[in-house]
Chains A and B, each alone.
Chain A
Amino acid sequence: MIDHLLPLLVAVPLLGSALPLFVAARSRTLARWLTLTVLVGQTALAVVLARVVFATASVSYDVGAIPAPFGIGLFADRVTAALALVVAGGALAALLTDHRHRSGPEYALWLLLVAGLSGVVVTADVFNLYVFLEISGLAAYAMVASARGVDPALAALHYLLVGTVGATLYLLGVGYAFVATGTLAMADLSVALAAAGYDSTLVVTAFVLVAVGLSVKMALFPLHAWKPEAYAAATPAVATVLAALGSTVAGYAFLRIVYDVFTVAFFEAVPAVRTLLLVAATTSVVAGGVLALRARDVRRLLAYSSVSQYGLFGVGLALATPLSVTGALVALVGHAVAKGGLFVAVGSVARTHGVRTVEEYAGLADRAPLTAAVVAVLGVSLIGLPPTVGFAGKWYLALGGIEAGSWAVATVVLASTMLSLAYVGRIVERCYLGRADATPPAGVRADGGLPAPATAPVVVLVGAAALVVALGLGSSALAAWFEPVVEGWL
């Protein structure tokens, strides 16, 4: 079974997604438990994969025993294993926080999303990456729309239109790379693109289209407009899973394509592309931060904060020094945990206290001390203060910027800390120093008939807070885990 680990990572959630469809008609509880079981199995597979790549550095698999370049391969190294674990664990934790029993199709979508995201993570073929991107995308659109009311439908339609344009631009980029080289397998492409000449129009066009396409999925400024709308309209659990995993996997795909397909030699041959990427990413850092400062709804604030954080990821990627790429990877994983946890907290606060805007968070520390404390810890990770994982990511990024002699970048990283301090500070300040209104906000009955906080979200919240601190304290171990792969790239 160990031999077939990689296809199982896709096949288990894909086949598993059929189970809740059949079972839910009889028992929604059983459908929920089946879905959770599949996700536990997926997490176990990801852990086994991590053990395997720890021992052997990398694994590849020829689907149907047809070798590349004719077959479509799967590939995993340490970065893959880390992301596969984030996807499986994140989806499991997010589903645990969901208090409602959902319909069969909703559970099926949950598993389809995991199948698509895992597929993006393990694939070694650029066209298959497109297909998996669309599987996860379609699941995400439908999941956003599954919330009640018309807002989610409108948000999901906008998300779909923008997301599909992004995926189609990616496909067009793949088309140009294919015309230039005649292959789609990542390993072959990296050789064939070099042979085609990095400065050839076809190759540069391919890169730009792929970069723009994946930037839509990562929601870099100014391609971010779908994100706040979708996160604010979706149910808390769906917003959690999308915020933690959706753009994270798109970021991973971009990293994989930049360093495994185009390779760092492409950046050296065409420095203009790299400069452009750096400019786009730094713009995203600043614009996302400013938009987050102005947001009223906490979910929108967090979505804009993601725009800023993926900008930082892009900065690390474009700098292309070992430290900056390590920083980008640490930041990617750290952001997934922190942002997922924050959305769990926001969902839990919305359910138990009926508040959604930054203003309404006033005095939350008195009413929900534990949730407020977790929000503060996860917020500290977003800002990038020790001892959290957010600090580790920014530390490596800033060092990478200085190492590359790019003072502008180091300044932007530090400035982003000030910006995130300002917008996270707004929430934390309200929680701890704001005075609660005498009148309960709309949607909450005056007799104090608030639903009791459920146990599962509390466990996940504390787990997320513990994880950002643990990853922060063990950040050198995390960086060491990525080191062999990053060294291979650069």
Chain B
Amino acid sequence: MTELPLGLGTWYAHVVYVLLVAVGLFVLINDENFVKKVIGLNILQTGVFLFFVTSAYRVDGRAPLVTTAGPFVNPLPHVLILTAIVVGVAVTAVALTLVVRIYGEYGTLREDVVQTIRDDEASAVAADREGTS
């Protein structure tokens, strides 16, 4: 493997993993847009996937096929992450379905706008109740 000139050796993958998790969490929490929140969730998960896959790496490792000679990379983390990716796809699908439903109701993808509309509705209902009683 070619060394990146960062003085990190092969550890740079771990730096990337931490960055991805941090970026994902930041977008998830900080962004008001629901679709971007889902993207943030995906970036967070991708970071974790990278961590797993990196743990399988070994210098000069090959794909673990019986017909070739070793050393082999560890296939188990790859299999795990294949499963986790499928889980991630399912989660994303459900999340986007919910986003579509919210968009259909409020005509916006922004959480702060949805919150404003809901607050207005709540105060309108309260005012209505005051008026009738």
Give residues in A with beta carbon < 8 Å to B: 127, 130-131, 134, 138, 141-142, 145, 150, 153-154, 156-157, 160-161, 164-165, 168, 171-172, 175, 178-179, 184, 439, 442
Contacts and interface: CB of A to CB of B under 8 A. Distances in A.
Q: Which 3 A-B pairs have the closest CB atoms?
A: A150-B105, A153-B101, A157-B98
B84 interface: yes
Interface stretch (B4-12, B64-72, B89-97): B89-97
Contacts of A131: 83, 87
Q: What bracket does the count of chain B residues touching chain A fall in?
A: 20 to 34
Given A161-B37, A164-B91, A171-B48, A178 B98 contact: no
A154 B105 CA distance: 11
Given A131-B83, A131-B87, A134-B87, A178 B77 contact: yes
Nearest to A439: B133
Q: Which of B34, B44, B91 has the most CB of A within 10 A?
A: B91
Contacts of B102: 150, 153-154, 157
A478 B84 CA distance: 38
Interface in B23-44: 25, 28, 34, 37-38, 41, 44
B99 interface: yes
Given A161-B28, A161-B38, A164-B95, 9 more contacts: A127-B83, A130-B84, A138-B94, A150-B105, A160-B98, A161-B95, A175-B55, A178-B52, A184-B76
A178 B56 CA distance: 10
A150 B107 CA distance: 12
A153 B80 CA distance: 31
A332 B105 CA distance: 39
A134 to B, nearest CB: 5
Binding site secondary structure of chain A:
helix
Contacts of B114: 154
A168 B48 contact: yes
Contacts of B76: 184
A184 B84 CA distance: 15
Contacts of A145: 94, 97-98, 101
A165 B44 contact: yes
Contact of A178 (B55, B87, B101, B133): B55
29 contacts: A127-B80, A131-B87, A134-B87, A134-B90, A134-B91, A141-B94, A141-B98, A145-B94, A145-B97, A150-B102, A150-B105, A157-B98, A157-B99, A157-B102, A160-B91, A160-B95, A161-B28, A161-B37, A161-B38, A161-B95, A164-B91, A164-B95, A165-B25, A165-B44, A168-B48, A171-B48, A175-B51, A178-B77, A179-B55
Contacts of A141: 94, 98
Contacts of A179: 55
A393 to B, nearest CB: 34
A178 B105 CA distance: 44
Interface of B: 21, 25, 28, 34, 37-38, 41, 44-45, 48, 51-52, 55, 76-77, 80, 83-84, 87, 90-91, 94-95, 97-99, 101-102, 105-106, 114, 129, 133
Contacts of B45: 164, 168
Contacts of A184: 76, 80
Contacts of A156: 98
A463 to B, nearest CB: 33
A165 B28 contact: yes
**A142, A164, A179 pick with most chain B CB within 10 angstroms:** A164
Given A138-B90, A161-B95, A175 B48 contact: yes
A179 B44 CA distance: 19
A157 B100 CA distance: 11
Contacts of B106: 150
B57 to A, nearest CB: 11
B91 A138 contact: yes
Nearest to B93: A138
Contacts of B25: 165
Contacts of B95: 157, 160-161, 164
A59 B5 CA distance: 54
Nearest to B104: A150
Given A134-B91, A142-B94, A165-B28, A157 B51 contact: no
Nearest to A142: B94
A272 to B, nearest CB: 23
Contacts of B133: 439
A25 to B, nearest CB: 21
Nearest to A160: B95
A80 B38 CA distance: 35
B101 A161 contact: no
Question: Which residue, B38, B41, B77, B80, has most C-beta atoms of chain A within 10 A?
Answer: B80
Which has the most chain B C-beta neighbours within 10 Å: A156, A157, A439?
Answer: A157
Nearest to A171: B48
A216 B37 CA distance: 18
A171 B101 contact: no
Nearest to A145: B98
A452 B97 CA distance: 36
Contacts of A442: 129
A179 B133 CA distance: 66
Nearest to A141: B94
Given A150-B101, A165-B44, A175 B94 contact: no
Contacts of A168: 44-45, 48
Nearest to A159: B98
B76 to A, nearest CB: 8
B13 to A, nearest CB: 13
Contact of B52 (A138, A157, A175): A175
A261 to B, nearest CB: 17
Interface centre among A130, A131, A150 (most CB of B within 10 A): A150
